[in-house]
Structure 1
Amino acid sequence: MTILNRSWDIVEQIRSNAPLVHSITNYVVMNNTANALLAIGASPIMAHAQEEMVEMVGISNSLVLNIGTLSEPWISSMLVAGKAAKAESKPVIFDPVGVGASTFRTQTCTKIIQEVSPDLIRGNPSEIMAMAGADGQTKGVDSMHATQTAEEAAKYLAEHFDCVVAVSGEQDMIVSATEIVWLQGGSPLMPKVTGMGCTASAICGACAAVANTTFDAAVAGMVIMNSAGGMAAAKADGPGSFQMHFLDALYSLDKNSLISNCTVKA
């Protein structure tokens, strides 16, 4: 089965099973990511109180940790939820938003990586380079590097932490210790809409809840983003209407549109 066909199979599984994706995510994107999960066919839950983390993990199918708006109570909740999810063999997706921008943010990422061992790390090139200790300068939460420059950093993280790494940019790269896939698609409008990277992490969470492997889940999540982005751009007049059409594209995504709006690069 080809990569794009496997990705479509995962979309169908999401729509059949409506997995519950628990997201401890930031204030800026909660509404965006919850709506994206609903549009693709998953069910979102946005709980962050430490007192209910173990119970929420117990009823969820995957966990997404996103450090966009950091605070100590949320960090504690992420650690409790992450450890509970790993104990129950539920996939954990980690989005190290803005790592490298501050010491606090970088130290938090290191703590989560070491104590939780996420199955999938998804970030932009600068974030992935910062995670690996390279020169991953960030401009707020935006990348200052092209995806290609983060390849060695992604490989290092995948091998060193036994995880899958998805790097998003003009091209997307998905890396494991033994595999690498490059994807092309999406739209230049995507960086103009806040939270598209966070949305990618949430979609990867839905995919990880039903996929056979984390690598397949990461590829499918990024294929979905590329395809829906291309579909939305064909109808949008700018960032505002792009966001609306992106949700519609997730909802109406079919096999033909998924395949025709994303290219697997050698």
Structure 2
Amino acid sequence: MTALQHIRKNKPVIHCITNYVTANFQANALLALGASPIMADLADEVKEVTSFADALVLNFGTLQQHSELAMTRAGQEANRRGIPIIIDPVGIGAIPSRLNVCRRLLQAVNPTAFRLNAGELAAIAGERWEARGVDAGSGEANVREMARFVAEKYDAIVVVTGATDLVISHQHTFEITGGDPWMKQITGAGCVLTTIVAAFATVKQDADTIQQGVHFYKKVAERARQTATGIGQFQVECLNYLQMEEL
């Protein structure tokens, strides 16, 4: 049984404390993939929700006053239960207050994986980088070396998205090519990948299984571009192809 078949058979519950800009896209993507999303971020209920989830996503896209407390409570419950935690630290390379939240969270919670761009990776690694909003920005540090450093420091898998995606653990390195440039034109394309990583991590919490999810998403984008005539249709076609068993 492939990892994708395992997801479709077991329909894992993915608890997403995520951002309101892309929550709908993420939820629909998880449903198309075969998982079961729940978007609960009230600090008083997140521990209870995480208690029956199969994975947890912590996305920094639209942090609010209650977000840090909710993420910490949910993350600690996920650690207690041994389910995967995927952190998507949106914008921490450009917004110091978000980076501070991330640092405090990492003192309280042990992540399974990070899904981020080069600018966000550099912020966690403590390297100089010129980030621009939620975009990757530019810098001279070696992305592969930064990813390996973060993977070893936090004993986690690091998924770095770019022209070529990297999936790095302290033991393995995978490069995944493909995809389509139109992914950059859709708000939430990266957030969706984070939820896909979470779903695949419910099968096995290792770099090989996670890179299968990243590779599948690249293929989804390629097929969607073949049939879409514009950005709006492209987003819909991505959801359609996420339902496919094989690509």
TM-score, normalised via structure 2 length: 0.96
Contact 1:120 1:218 survives alignment (8 Å): no
Equivalent residue in structure 1 for 2:210, among 183, 196, 218: 218
Amino acid in the other structure paired with 2:215: V
> What letter matches 1:85 in structure 2?
A
Secondary structure (helix, strand or coil) at the match of 1:97 reads coil
Over the residues paired in the alignment, what is the CA RMSD in angstroms?
1.6
> 2 CA distance for matches of 1:161 and 1:105?
19
The residue aligned with 1:107 is 100
TM-score, normalising length: structure 1:
0.89
Identity %: 37
Alpha-carbon distance in structure 2 between the residues aligned to 1:98 and 1:163:
20
What residue in structure 1 maps to residue 132 of structure 2? 139
Aligned to 1:201: 194
Q: Please list every run of 5 or more consecutive structure 1 residues that lacks an aligned counterpart in the other structure.
A: 1-7, 258-266
The amino acid of 1:47's aligned partner reads A
Say if 1:86 and 1:116, in contact at 8 Å, map to a contact too.
yes
Cα gap change, 1:236 to 1:145, in 2 (>3 Å): farther
Report the counterpart of residue 251 of structure 1 in structure 2.
243
- One-letter identity of the residue aligned with 1:243: Q
d(CA) in 1 for partners of 2:194, 2:233:
22
Once the two structures are superposed, residues 137-191 of structure 1 have per-residue CA deviations (whole angstroms, 9 ceiling, x without a partner) of 2211111249x94111101100111111000111100000111000011101001
For 1:239, the equivalent position in structure 2 comes to: 231
| Deviation for aligned residue 1:76 | 0.5
* Distance in 2 between residues matched to 1:130 and 1:218, nearest whole Å: 23
SS in 1 for 2:177: strand
Name the aligned partner's letter for residue 230 of structure 1.
Answer: E
> Deviating runs (4+, > 6 A) in structure 1?
none
Q: Give matches, 1:39-78, under 5 Å.
A: 39-78=32-71
Preserved CA contact (<8 Å) 2:116 2:161: yes
CA contact (8 A) 2:95 2:133 kept: no
**Superposed displacement of residue 101, structure 1:** 1.3
Structure having the higher helix fraction is: 1
**Any idea what the Cα deviations from partners look like across 1:186-232, whole Å, max 9, x if unmatched?**
10100110111110000111111122x33133212211211111111
Deviation at residue 41 of structure 1 after TM alignment: 0.4
What is the SS of the residue equivalent to 2:181? coil
Whether the 8 Å contact between 1:130 and 1:137 is mirrored in structure 2 is no
Which amino acid in the other structure matches residue 229 of structure 1? A
Q: How far off is 1:93 after superposition?
A: 0.4
Letter in 2 for 1:65: L
Deviations 1:215-252 (A, max 9, x none): 13321221121111111111112221110100001012
